Amino acid sequence: MRVLALDTSTPHTSCALLEDDRVVRERSFEPPAKAGDVLPVGLGDLEGIDAVAVGLGPGSFTGLRVGLAAAKAIAYARKLPIAGASSLQAIAAAERGLVYAATEARKGELFVQAFRDGAPQGAVQVVFAADLRLPDGARLLREPPRAAAVGLLCLPRLRGASYDASACFSLAPDYVQGFPARGG
């Protein structure tokens, strides 16, 4: 199964192509590149794609909308199954023990979620970076989410799946309830 995976939840846009459990190709674009500008270049040839995976955030309001729109458009046009995964879980998926995955929310604030052995341990929190305190032994992960990790998280739901228009159109970004979204 060939899966196209995207994550545009942070300014570090990432695209990957997975074949079964193996990453065939992955590209990341650093800021100031914008997801809307680099996705056409990063996606390349879409022939032979069997499914689409996309990072759902939390993260940049505009970035999430661009990535999700691109993923849905590809899935819809090609009648492919689509699935989404938490961008924070993609950061923590391969980690063992207690970790806190974090991405920038707004100036001075972070989206933070705890994970133990890759599994979520509670809801996403929005905290001021200066106020963040971790339990003893926990590690903070601040690297951007990778599309390959998003794809691997979605793979179990995509295997054997077929195109489902309602699933395609109902897939939504995680803006984090109570966190006012702003463009940018």
* Domain co-membership, 67 together with 115: no
- pLDDT mean over 6-19: 93
Residue 47 lies inside a defined structural domain of this protein:
yes
Answer yes or no: is pLDDT of 16 > 80: yes
Q: How many domains does the chain have?
A: 2
* Domain co-membership, 6 together with 71: yes
* Domain co-membership, 69 together with 160: yes
Q: Which tens digits make up the pLDDT trace of 79-94?
A: 999 999 999 999 999 9
What pLDDT is stored for residue 32 in this prediction? 65
Answer yes or no: is pLDDT of 40 > 60: no
Rg, Å, the chain Cα set:
16
Tokens for 40, please give them.
């056409």
The distance of Cα 77 from the centroid of its chain, to the nearest Å, equals 21
Residue 9 lies inside a defined structural domain of this protein:
yes
Closest by Cα among 92, 83, 94 to 154: 83
Residue 127 lies inside a defined structural domain of this protein:
yes
Q: State the average pLDDT for the chain.
A: 91
* Domain co-membership, 102 together with 118: yes
Question: Nearest 10 degrees: CA dihedral of 112, 110, 92, 48?
Answer: 120
Residue 107 lies inside a defined structural domain of this protein:
yes
Q: Which domain holds residue 114?
A: 95-141
The distance of Cα 57 from the centroid of its chain, to the nearest Å, equals 6
* Domain co-membership, 10 together with 36: yes
CATH number of the domain at 65, please: 3.30.420.40
Answer yes or no: is pLDDT of 42 > 60: no
Residue 183 lies inside a defined structural domain of this protein:
no
Share of the chain above pLDDT 90, in %: 78
Answer yes or no: is pLDDT of 164 > 90: yes
* Domain co-membership, 27 together with 49: yes
* Domain co-membership, 42 together with 77: yes
